[in-house]
Structure 1
Amino acid sequence: MAERSVILTYETIRQWCLNFGQTYANELKHRRSHTGDKWHLDEVFLTINGKRSYLWRAVDQYGNVLDILVQSKRNKKAAKKFFRKLLKGLQYVPRVIITDKLASYSAAKKEIMESREHRQHKGLNNRAENSHQPTRQRERSMRRFKSPGHAQRFLSAFGPISDHFRP
């Protein structure tokens, strides 16, 4: 843009990201190849305006982020909502689900994906645990998220785009 004598401010670029970031992320999500059949699910807490929220994340065996959801609870109802969102967006079910030992996953899986294998083990879920690291780094550089809606909007676009640029 500088070669063409177009002057841009940081605010202009921020507005472009708000307007076109999610559209770009959705296109990348639709164009990616078929993801793996082994899903790693994990949740991590975020502090947003002094209140604890939970970031639920699903990753396949190759490390591709399938979906995320920011919620205020970490119970069976929240896990069911996350499973429904995952299945709606991907239109297929996994062969194996790997989680930590949170009981909400088992209860929600029995109702939504009862025929799938479910492995609960702390050490097997490292793929999902490691996928939280770029989010934590980004959260620190942004000086935390301001609202759950802002966190959901940013992270749902940030996941697919960062996977695209860092294979």
Structure 2
Amino acid sequence: MQERGVAVDHSTLNRQVLKYAPEIDKRIRPFLKPTNDPWRVDETYIKIRGKWRYLYRAVDSEGNMLDFMLSAKRDGKAAARFFRKVLGAKHTQTPRVITVDKNAAYPVAVEELKQDQILKAQTKLRQSKYLNNVLEQDHRNIKRIVKPMIGF
């Protein structure tokens, strides 16, 4: 815009992003590559407006991001809400195996989803401290960006 002699403030760009990002997201989702069977799910904490929030993220076996969600709490309800969000996306299929860390909220959430028949009964929940290293290492990139900013 500067090359064309138009002065644009950063708040103008932010308004455009807030206006058009949901529409772009809605139109792009159907064209995303379908996911693989095994999923890896993990959460990390980040500071947003001075308050600590939990960032839930899910990736497939190839490391492709399925979805993410911010939550104020790290409990079974938040985990179930995140799983519902990911399973409701058009590009995801029901996973065969979900690998999570030792957080006690995940078994509660998975059982709730199985009872509501949102998740298949054959879906296994694998709790392992070390099998989520792909996702755990990816948290480093988020922390590296957030730390100098002292949060979002």
- TM-fit CA distance, 1:77: 1.5
Residues 99, 127 of structure 2: 8 Å contact kept: yes
Which TM-score applies when normalising by structure 2? 0.80
Residues 63, 131 of structure 1: 8 Å contact kept: no
Structure with greater Cα Rg: 2
129, 132, 140: which one pairs with 1:125? Answer: 132
Which TM-score applies when normalising by structure 1? 0.74
- TM-fit CA distance, 1:70: 1.1
Give the match's secondary structure for 1:131.
helix
- Tell me the distance in 1 between the aligned counterparts of 2:108 and 2:54: 18
- Tell me the distance in 2 between the aligned counterparts of 1:48 and 1:124: 28
**Which residue pairs with 1:165 in the alignment?**
none
Instruction: List per-residue Cα deviations over 1:84-131 (Å, max 9, x = no partner).
Output: 111112463111101001111112112213420221111110122233
1:16-165 alignment runs, 5 A limit: 16-90=16-90, 92-112=93-113, 113=119, 114-140=121-147, 142-145=149-152
* RMSD of equivalent CA atoms: 2.2
The structure with the greater share of residues assigned to helix is 1
Residues 44, 55 of structure 1: 8 Å contact kept: yes
Q: Is structure 2 residue 14 aligned with structure 1 residue 14? A: yes
Q: Percent of aligned positions with the same letter in both sequences?
A: 37
Residues 59, 127 of structure 1: 8 Å contact kept: no
Unaligned runs of 5+ in 1: 146-167
- TM-fit CA distance, 1:37: 1.4
- TM-fit CA distance, 1:50: 4.1
Q: Which has the higher contact order (CA 8 A, sep 6+)?
A: 1
